[in-house]
Structure 1
Amino acid sequence: MRRLGWWFDVLLLAAFAALTALLAAGHLYGVDSAIANYADAHRPPVMYWLALIGNQLGQSGHFLIAFGVIALWLLYRDRDVRPLILVAFTYVLAGVVVVPLKEFGGRDAPSSTLPNKVELFNDAAVYDWSYPSGHMVNTFVWFFTMVLLLTWLFGERARRFEPVIRIAPPVIVFVTTIYLSFHWLTDSIAGLLIGVVLRRVMARIPWRTLPLPAWLPFTAAPVEPAPWSRSPWRARSAGRSRSAGAGGAQSAEAADQDRIVR
């Protein structure tokens, strides 16, 4: 597959800017309102609860706690602080980018009772953090972090689950946030565009070999897992890597260093 460079990120940001300009000019409000009204009229209790469960995939608080625990375990097991830095960076990155955009957008949620709730830059908005959807951004940055943590825990074989992890959560959250009237359709589209850009930025950072200052504790990336953390299949994989010699397969660190989002 051909690699996509920075030009693709610029294209995504241009699409976000164009979408924002269209909404500011009063376009697409009819589409947003029609979809929200349809969702409100077709939401039986069973579907509501199923959608609410699926929508939890876009909640950053769950991931911060769960992944923080995993990162602390990796800090103890491998004596490497990088997983903890990854989790903290993910949380800060999403907040630093999304919160100002939400403040700038000033858009109310579909569940609001205001007559002009669909409008962007609405001074009368009560809940004015609807645009763009933070739920959508979370599904890209946090599930990217999940893939990296899984590779830290179980090795490169964990990447076999990456296609499902990359695709399923954004699709589920995209549908459920609109169906539950948490966000307008264009909110979710905007969140998708920003989320893809942030994920691509994170993918360019060599997390497994990230250079760190000498004064920071637990900075040495171990060549091998600690003896108590080695599973049988990881031991077999290490044996095959050693027998391959200099011309063999790349190490996990090298593969992560060279990996770029496509």
Structure 2
Amino acid sequence: MKQLVTPLRRYIPVGWFDWEPFGERPKSWWPDLVLFAVFVVMTVLLMFPSPLVTLDHEVRMWAVDNKIPWLWEFGRTIAMIGEGEAGASIGLAFSVWCALRSRSIRPMLMFVLSFMTLALILGMKHWLGRPLSQHPLRLAEVSPDGPMLFTYYLEGGGGVAPATAYPSGHAVNSILLFGLIVMLVGGLLPKWLRLTLLIAPPSMVFLGQLYSGQHWLTDSIAGFILGILIIRSAKRVDWHDVPIGPLMVFEPATRKTILISTILLVGVAITPNLPLNQALILAAVLPVIGLVWLGLSIRAKRRTEARLAAEGPQGEAEAVEDGEGEPAPAPEIPSQPSDSRPRA
């Protein structure tokens, strides 16, 4: 382990700043309630032949009638910005970097727990059962009144058998993943770059999906609403000092702790892309490894605390050094601009 980590030390300094998420906590719940109400109303209107269903179909047919091959390909390309795999990899890399610099697993916890909400949205997509928009002309075979919810058209398009159009996962990703990146490192970025990360990806995904016909109009709008709600919820959590229970044994985090955590998270991320049998085995093994590691860490910490208590002042002096024998960072360390704001 040391042979792997030691060469990286000069390139990945530790303890540079006391990390906390960038951005102010939302002061009111009213925007969240309004957005949620809009999502509910929109969902209800898509359950029967409403004007909203007609609008979706007309917008989609406009794209079909005005298709320009090169522009269609360009739309498909820019819509890929919302791909979960690529965005998750970039976000995880930023969270690991913040964890290394701040000697804390909290940046990784914030990213992973927020990203896991996408599993609920995936379940929602399958349950609501809206046909994808790639086959608008054949949609009349199963739904003459238009692309309504609970219309489980098996030929959904895009290689996906079930109807999983609503809400758009790419739209959610474009809000959530880039919003999390800003929360992770926004204090180190200029304002124009933060705004670009928050506005450009959703805009490109929306236009790309709309013109290339990857989703109905309301699919993208619903995805943006859910992405905003998740980000606003994540901002309400005091990730810098929220109780983390048994995981507190990993604070302050060593490089070895962050490396093992990253390996486990990458394993979880690749599980859905493996063949069924391999995915089931990995899904069973990874939690066991994590729990064993947690148990051993707690046991080792208790032994260390008992030894230090028995040795008295001399043991406390030795505790100044971390698990790798490095001196602890100086008490006065630089902070992000976001750290200077009053904590809620």
Amino acid at match of 1:80: S
Q: 1:19 to 1:220 in 2, by over 3 A?
A: same
The alignment's TM-score, normalised by the length of structure 1, stands at 0.77
Q: After the TM superposition, which residues 1-262 of structure 1 pair with which residues of structure 2 at under 5 Å, given as runs?
A: 5-27=28-50, 28-96=52-120, 98-112=121-135, 113-115=138-140, 116=143, 118-127=147-156, 128-151=163-186, 156-158=187-189, 160=191, 161-213=193-245, 215-220=247-252, 238=334, 252-253=338-339, 255=341, 257-258=343-344
Check conservation: 1:208, 1:257, Cα contact below 8 A.
Answer: no
Quick check: 1:70–1:149 contact (8 Å CA) kept in 2? yes
- Partner Cα distance (1:84, 1:4) in 2: 25
Contact (CA 8 Å) 2:94, 2:185: kept in 1 or not? no
| Stretch of structure 1 that moved more, 39-48 or 189-198 | 39-48
1:182-232 per-residue CA deviation (whole Å, 9 max, x = no partner) reads 1101111211222221111111122333333354454339xxxx99xxxxx
Task: Report if the CA contact (8 A) 2:171-2:227 is conserved.
Answer: yes
Select the structure of larger CA radius of gyration.
2
Q: TM-score scaled by structure 2? A: 0.60
Contact 2:94 / 2:181 at 8 angstroms: preserved in 1? Answer: no
Aligned partners of 2:131 and 2:152 also within 8 Å: no
Cα distance change, pair 86–256 in 1 and its aligned pair in 2 (3 A): farther
Give the drift of 1:4.
Answer: 5.2
Q: Quick check: 2:81–2:174 contact (8 Å CA) kept in 1?
A: yes
Counterpart CA distance in 2 for 1:215 and 1:64 is 23
Q: Which amino acid aligns with 1:255?
A: R
Relative distance call for 1:81 and 1:214 in structure 2 (3 A) is same
Q: Helix, strand or coil for the counterpart of 2:149? A: coil
Q: Distance in 1 between matches of 2:252 and 2:341?
A: 18
Report the Cα distance in structure 1 between the residues aligned to 2:249 and 2:155, rounded to whole angstroms: 45
1:19-59 residue CA offsets vs partner (Å, 9 max, x unmatched) = 11111121122211111111123232321232222112211
Say if 1:256 and 1:170 are closer, same or farther in 2 by CA, change over 3 A: farther
Taking only the aligned residue pairs, the percentage that are identical comes to 27
1:18 offset after TM fit, Å? 0.8
Cα gap change, 1:120 to 1:215, in 2 (>3 Å): closer
Shift of 1:256: 8.0
